[in-house]
Amino acid sequence: MKVIVNIQLKNGVLDPQGKAVHHALASLKFNEVGDVRIGKQIILDIAETDKKNAQERVQVMCEELLANTVIEDYTIEFPAC
């Protein structure tokens, strides 16, 4: 089963990489961009057939390793295959 975990900094946490990209876009005359936040996406292929079990296991993975829950939020998605 494929599972996608999207991780982004919580609101209020400074994003220096996002600021650098925003500045670079502005210098290239992409002035319509108001803000940039950089995150990460993790795609897992797990040996699980039950969506509820997969959700629970991936949530534990996020809490213990994949996301720094002090400064990051995450979402778990199950893409249609």
**Range(s) of the domain holding residue 9:** 2-77
**CA geometry: angle 48, 50, 56, nearest 5 deg:** 85
Instruction: Give me the CATH number covering residue 31.
Output: 3.30.1280.10
* DSSP characters over 25-74: HHHTT-TT------EEEEEEE-S---HHHHHHHHHHHIIIII--TTTEEE
pTM of the model: 0.89
Going by pLDDT thresholds of 50, 70 and 90, the confidence category of residue 2 is: very high
Q: What is the pLDDT of residues 14-66, one digit of tens each?
A: 999 999 999 999 999 999 999 999 999 999 999 999 999 999 999 999 999 99
Number of domains the chain contains: 1
- How far separated are the first and last CA of the chain, in Å rounded? 9
What the block records as the tokens of 18 is 């996002």
pLDDT at 81 over 80: no
| 3-class DSSP assignment, residue 80 | coil
